[in-house]
Structure 1
Amino acid sequence: MCRQARRTDVSDALALVTDAPAAEQIRFALAADSVRAAVTVQDGKVLGCCLYDAMGKGTVGPLYVEPGAEDIVRPQLLRSACRAMLRAGYWYALAEGPGLADCPALVPDAAVPVPVVPAPQPSERDVPGPWADLYLPLGEELEQEAADHVQAGRRTVHILRPLASHRIPLIRWVAEEFGEGWASEVEAAFERQPVSVLFATDNGRLDQSQALLGFTAWGVSALGMTGPTALRPSARGTQLAMVLTDRCLRELRRDGYPYAILGGFGKRRGALRELPSAWAIPGSYPALFPRDPQEVAGVDD
């Protein structure tokens, strides 16, 4: 039987490992406020243990199994851990650590290998379909602080995290400019602590709607996933969209994610050109964002 681990499973789970770092990971995962592990139990004994969020947020692994039980237990255990992550708010997981080198073979219907060196051409990193989610590894350089103002064309643009007092007028502005769907995502971003949305303004203030240029959000549709990034028409045609995307990725990296998922890209060749280590995820359509295929274009140059 595979199930969510319990704190009482810790002694049996520790019996599966022999080195101190692995034991410490298991103790930490089972002592967390929300236990971050799945176990396989037979006759009251833990035969296997799969951690998640142990190698960084949004990761599944390491996986430890009692010798002799690997073939039967490992696929079940991996699926159980992934289901626990789905309940926790993730849509994707990066499999890392001992016991998971052959992850695509364990769950061939749900896993794809991560390219060590992505192909150089955007067309080679794309997939067929009206849209797709993009996978992007996040390097340590993104842990550096970014300036709170940047040059975008001739503008000096301020990138600001709003306060609770900005909530109602900013949500109203997003609804008026971009529709109620994205306004709902921004409202969800205000529910998180810290708030997971940033706004761009050309005067450093968020209480004047005429100064607002756009916004970017993350972690609202699913954990580790970027939300909408939108610019009002007067701000388009500059590098501001990529500036906002960069800030969003920095926030995810500082939150502990080793990767980001850029969700629901229709016109994605431009993004793949700007992000040479990103690639479109096979099978990601329609998944989390079911839409009418007529609403988005499949490719662009």
Structure 2
Amino acid sequence: MCGNRLFFENSVCVSCETPLGYSRAERQIVPLDAETGTYTDAADIVWTVCANLGLSGCTWLTTDESGLCFSCGLTRTRPNDADLEGIVNYAPAERAKRHLIAELDAVGIPILDKRVDERGVAFDLLSSVAEPVTIGHADGIVTIDLAEAEDAHRERIRAMLDEPYRTMLGHFRHEIGHYYESFLVADDATRARYRALFGDETEDYHAAIDRHYAEGAPADWQANYISQYATMHPFEDFAETWAHYLHISDAIQTADEFGILRTVDAASFRELVVDFWIPLSTALNMMNRSMGSDDLYPFVISDPVLDKLDFVAGLAAAPA
């Protein structure tokens, strides 16, 4: 290896042309044998690049006989090869999913494969070329509309719903929040704290949806919620808060890695947000404005939202 900086999706070093793969077990980009295209780890286990390298740009390594890495193996449904538009949009969706899984690994949140554990998760990455697709989560199945990979489509929906932020990665982070809520908020004490922060989750969900889209968010929603969508129902408030926990965690880790922040040391997630994230995101927003772009993080974090973020971070840190 030549010492050139590598990035998460690199399949080859652009400087010395060494073939590369991502070892999830080691959380490292590793060099492959140029002749065999394999990587042998310290335990003499031989790994190969995922079979989806050509289809979706996946560089993750696998020992699975199917040829698929852990991340690609979680995809239960994808577009058929004849759906050219769906296949084009499939690659950025899988890239966002890999990012999500690597982030969950980094913060120590286990993610289970539904094929081997009924408590696990699976993903339906569906093309809405032929029929509408509803993004959502149910019983461990996360459904994503691949059209959200298209900037024009996503921006149209974002503007229609008056959202400040909408990305493919954001969808994955939000929907996986629903999945984790289903078994992290389990005991009576945790449920009581959850209800004190987010409200009574037994409220009729479909009635809440109808009310939200008919009446909109309360005028003072920013005093208690991270987004207008979070005001719809406690389930959505939790999922939005979970997504922002991941947004913030990942952004701070990236800033730390690039030396933008000093090594971060905080006693709680609340302290991390107040002492590091708010100053950093404010500076980044001003940088974006200097370039004539929209704010990078267009959200207000109130004290009640800080309480919710701290609660979610505590759940994420608890033993699974």
For the criterion TM > 0.5, the same-fold answer is no
Which one scores higher on RCO, CA 8 angstroms, separation ≥ 6?
1
Query: Higher helix fraction: Structure 1 or Structure 2?
Result: 2
Name the TM-score, length of structure 1 as normaliser. 0.28
Name the TM-score, length of structure 2 as normaliser. 0.27
Query: Higher strand fraction: Structure 1 or Structure 2?
Result: 1
